[in-house]
Chain A
Amino acid sequence: MNECIIAMKSQSGAYRAIKLLRSAGISASAVNIDTSLTGHGCGFGVVISCGKADEALALLEKKHLRHGELIGSGR
């Protein structure tokens, strides 16, 4: 399974996203993101299967959960 990471704007937002995605049947977990990727220090992301990325992003946007870029999808 290819893994993608949705960068999140806050750690509470990351855990909120994980709860939301899991309730929708999407496997998700928290991950630290390297400073070199965020550009402004420690960051948090949500790991998901790349195959579920579009569905996951749509869910986050529907619930107005602020997120950053999708990392590792190749797009």
Chain B
Amino acid sequence: MIYLDNAATSYPKPPSVYREMRHALRKYGGNPGRASHALASAAAEALLDCRDAASELFFCDAESVSLTFNATHALNIAIKGLMRESGNIMISDMEHNSVLRPVLSLCRNQGCSLTVYPSHGGDADKILNGIEDLIRPDTKLLVACHMSNVCPICLPIKEIGEICRDRGIAYVIDASQSAGHMPLKLGDIRADAVCVPGHKGLMGPPGTGLLITDGERLPETLLEGGSGIDSLDAEMPQFSPERFEAGTMPAYAAAVLASGIRYVTKTGTENILRKETELRELLYRNLSDVHGVRFYAPHGIGGTLMLNIDRLTPSEIGNKLNQSGICTRVGLHCAPLAHKTLGTGKNGAVRISIGHMNSRADILKLCDEIMKLADM
């Protein structure tokens, strides 16, 4: 099997991650942060270790790292927790439904308005000028995806953060497709919340994500419940990570995620980015002249590329690739805004998302299969 659906979730995981998974539920079987007995302490230390691993990779304060169920969970906390009243929210035309839907929910329920700023194919100057032009007096929140989930377009998150700081706008970064795939030094970036999945580029297990709140504003909570401390207080703690970790945290999953993060740190995000970019470029080079194969915004960085083949629907292509043992993802990829921007909003496309574990041979095999389909 050739797995090319890494934008959905990474596979396979590094051997160290599988090893940790095998033992983690027994090793960290206590409830972290509640009792102080040996098993509970071991579980709490697993959470601490996961925060430390994230801090080392992202150059952020370890105590600003809260464990979530996934990036969508983190984005919901960030977006809804920072936007507690009516006002204008700006998002890019590359955003995933994990951003669009919470924002539309605020528009319906809280009287917020939505402005979509253009990504201009990743042209940083045009993006920044577009944002400046579209900011309104009532703009209170801006969300930017660092890397698109359908094509190799990247937004200038640091510079966008500077605009938000100057204008007093809360700023959320969706790093779902960049974390673990490319360098992300949060110490250099001014953001109120950075939302990260654990199971994609960080090579951890599904059911994990991170909310990093290293900025000036601390979001309101989305969930409230037990925190292990200050039980008589009516409110959740006023500080991270406990503020955002209501209920029992999965210490075993945090331990496995820490193992994945340490693999990424050791491998080096520069090396990961270089390899994924080279493999995507190899794919594009080999197929760009093939009659009937169409690409959408194929240039940029990273390992994601979208295509269609004339006379075949995306589902037909995906199903035929699947029969050849190649896993891709077809349709709109939960990103209707991005597909509309790229002109594929009606029927979507086939997404090839290359991961660090893929090889040159994987890509050449994919090229052969696509050439056969284009020739049919």
Chain A positions within 8 Å of B, measured between CB atoms, are 9-13, 15-16, 19, 29-32, 35, 38-44
Assess whether B45 is in contact with A41, with CB atoms less than 8 Å apart: no
Query: In the complex the two chains form, what is the Cα distance from A42 to B227 in whole Å?
Result: 9
Using known A-B contacts A44-B228, A44-B229, determine if residue A16 contacts B63 with beta carbons closer than 8 Å. Answer: yes
Q: Does B241 contact A (CB under 8 A)?
A: yes
* Contact residues in B for A13 (Cβ distance below 8 Å): 63
Measured as residues with beta carbon below 8 angstroms from the partner, the interface class of chain B is: 20 to 34
Which residue of A29, A32, A40 contacts B232 across the interface (Cβ within 8 Å)? A40
Assess whether A42 is in contact with B231, with CB atoms less than 8 Å apart: yes
Q: Does B166 contact A (CB under 8 A)?
A: no
Query: In the complex the two chains form, what is the Cα distance from A5 to B337 in whole Å?
Result: 55
Assess whether B41 is in contact with A32, with CB atoms less than 8 Å apart: no
Query: In the complex the two chains form, what is the Cα distance from A31 to B37 in whole Å?
Result: 8
Which residues 11-30 of B have a CB within 8 angstroms of A?
none
* Contact residues in A for B231 (Cβ distance below 8 Å): 35, 40-42
Assess whether B228 is in contact with A11, with CB atoms less than 8 Å apart: yes
Assess whether B242 is in contact with A15, with CB atoms less than 8 Å apart: no
B36, B45, B237 — most chain A CB neighbours (10 Å): B36
Assess whether B232 is in contact with A41, with CB atoms less than 8 Å apart: yes
Q: Does B345 contact A (CB under 8 A)?
A: no
Using known A-B contacts A19-B48, A29-B41, determine if residue A12 contacts B33 with beta carbons closer than 8 Å. Answer: yes
* Contact residues in B for A11 (Cβ distance below 8 Å): 32-33, 44, 227-229, 242
Shortest B64–chain A CB gap in Å is 11
Shortest B163–chain A CB gap in Å is 30
Assess whether B41 is in contact with A12, with CB atoms less than 8 Å apart: no
Assess whether A44 is in contact with B36, with CB atoms less than 8 Å apart: yes
